[in-house]
Amino acid sequence: HKPLLSQCYNLFDFEAVAHRVMTKAAWAYFSSAADNEITAQENQRVFQRIWFRPQVLVDVEHVDISTTMLGTKTSIPIYVTATALNKLAHPEGEIIFTRASHKHNIIQMIPTLSSRAFDEIIDARGDDQIQWLQLYVNKDREVTKKIVQYAEERGCKALCITVDNPQVGRRERDLRSKYTESNGEATGGNSPNHGTSNLLDPSLSWADIPWFQSITSMPIVLKGVQRVEDVLKAVEHGCQGVILSNHGGRQLEFARSPIEVLAETMPVLRERGIEDKIEVYVDGGVRRGTDILKALCLGARGVGIGRPFLYAMGAYGQPGVDKAIQLLKDELETDMRLIGCNKLEELHPGLLSIRSLFDH
Ligand code: FNR
């Protein structure tokens, strides 16, 4: 029998329940990652190589974990990242994330390959709620243009272009199960045409960024950046944000964890005095308040969360997602007190020991 929701004390508890109650195929699709899944494991393991240097005797009676992302207020520096095919977790799919995000005042990134109609996800939006669009760039640029401009017209507040996916990574759990990627996320992913289709354009390049800027006034965020050199290029190209991400380990096996890339990136931005020119986000492997805190200390503006919310949805529907977000809020607030900070602006790398971060 299924444990009660009240018996879920952290995000891993949802994962265990989801594994039991979801269909085998849905579990395979959500949990899969590229090749031997080493990068997917590393995304979580990297946090074990970072330790805290808390400060004591600070008045931490009133802790505030709210912040702004791309200029809009949010109650906690996390957002629901884009994951395709949410209906595999629950018949209501992406709309559950819309409602839970609204309830908690956090941002939802809507996937291009949502399983609910885009308009349904927009119509479910609450007052003042912020949604961003995740974009897979279609080979037919007229299609891409229509998607982008329609999203802007319907009130999306950022364009997050996925750049780590010129073709779909090789995910063997998926290959073995009947719900292959060809059901949605980049159709044709496992077919003999090497994972390309109209839904993904492998010719996408830096030269296309000005075109995106010409068709939209939404801020542009590049999702899937994996080295400081490309963060600098994003700044040069006038992008407002980058998301350091390896797609939850689903794309290039042995891509480094986003946290390691973050630790490489922020000192360079600071050295050049351009850390205010771009907002840097990370996603991948975030499961605990301390994970969020470590990313923020290293200089991230916020973190995206994928699988844990899918598992919470698969296990308990919207109440599960509500609780998962609440748990992260409670953990982060506790961790802020214990590290000796009241506000997120007070966090800095000096609160961490990262001596072993780069040792593998
Ligand atoms: C994803 N991700 C993803 N990213 C994207 O840009 N477009 C997409 O359609 C999808 N689809 C998708 C499906 C599933 C099942 C997963 C698990 C992931 C990647 C996602 O946005 C994010 O980078 C990772 O999920 C972050 O890692 P965690 O939080 O899942 O560890």
Q: How confident is the model at residue 189 (pLDDT cuts 50, 70, 90)?
A: very low
Q: Which residue out of 80, 83, 168 has the highest number of ligand 1 atoms within 8 Å of its CB and is therefore the one to mutate?
A: 83
Q: pLDDT at residue 4 above 80?
A: yes
How many angstroms separate the alpha carbon of residue 99 from the centre of ligand 1? 19
Nearest alpha carbon, ligand 1 atom 13: 83
82 lines ligand 1 (CB under 6 A): yes
pLDDT (tens digit, 9 = 90+) per residue, 317-331? 999 999 999 999 999
In this predicted model, what pLDDT tens digit does every residue of 271-311 receive, in sequence order?
999 999 999 999 999 999 999 999 999 999 999 999 999 99
Tell me the whole-structure pTM to 2 decimals: 0.95
Task: Tell me, yes or no, if 136 is annotated catalytic.
Answer: yes
**Amino acid 191: pLDDT:** 37
**pLDDT tier at 179 (50, 70, 90 boundaries)?**
low
Mean pLDDT of 19-33: 95
- Comparing 130 with 175, the larger pLDDT belongs to 130
The pairing of beta strand 279-283 with beta strand 241-244: parallel
pLDDT at residue 174, as a whole number: 84
Complex-level ipTM beyond the 0.90 threshold: yes
Instruction: Please tell me the distance between residue 180's alpha carbon and the centre of ligand 1 in angstroms.
Output: 15
Q: Per-residue pLDDT for 225 more than 60?
A: yes
Residue 360 appears among annotated catalytic residues: no
Q: Is the CB of 184 under 6 A from ligand 1?
A: no
Q: How confident is the model at residue 178 (pLDDT cuts 50, 70, 90)?
A: low
- Residue 360 banded pLDDT, cuts 50, 70, 90: confident
- Relative to the CA of 247, which ligand 1 atom is closest? 23
| Binding site membership of 285 for ligand 1 (Cβ less than 6 Å) | yes
Pocket test for ligand 1, best of 27, 29, 39, 81 (most atoms within 8 A of CB): 81
Question: Mean per-residue pLDDT for 156-161?
Answer: 98
Encode pLDDT of 97-136 as tens digits.
Answer: 999 999 999 999 999 999 999 999 999 999 999 999 999 9
3 state SS for the chain: CCCCHHHCCCHHHHHHHHHHHCCHHHHHHHHCCECCCHHHHHHHHHHHHCEECCCCCCCCCCCECCEEECCEEECCCEEECCCCCHHHCCCCCHHHHHHHHHHHCCEEEECCCCCCCHHHHHHCCCCCCCEEEEECCCCCHHHHHHHHHHHHHCCCCCEEEECCCCCCCCEHHHHHCCCCHHHCCCCCCCCCCCCCECCECCCCCHHHHHHHHHHCCCCEEEEEECCHHHHHHHHHCCCCEEEECCHHHCCCCCCCCHHHHHHHHHHHHHHCCCCCCCEEEEECCCCCHHHHHHHHHHCCCEEEECHHHHHHHHHHHHHHHHHHHHHHHHHHHHHHHHHCCCEHHHCCHHHEECCCCCCC
* pLDDT for residue 182 is more than 70: no
How high is the pLDDT of residue 190? 36
pLDDT of residue 198: 83
Catalytic site residue 1? no
Judged against a pLDDT cut of 70, whether residue 143 lies above it is answered with yes
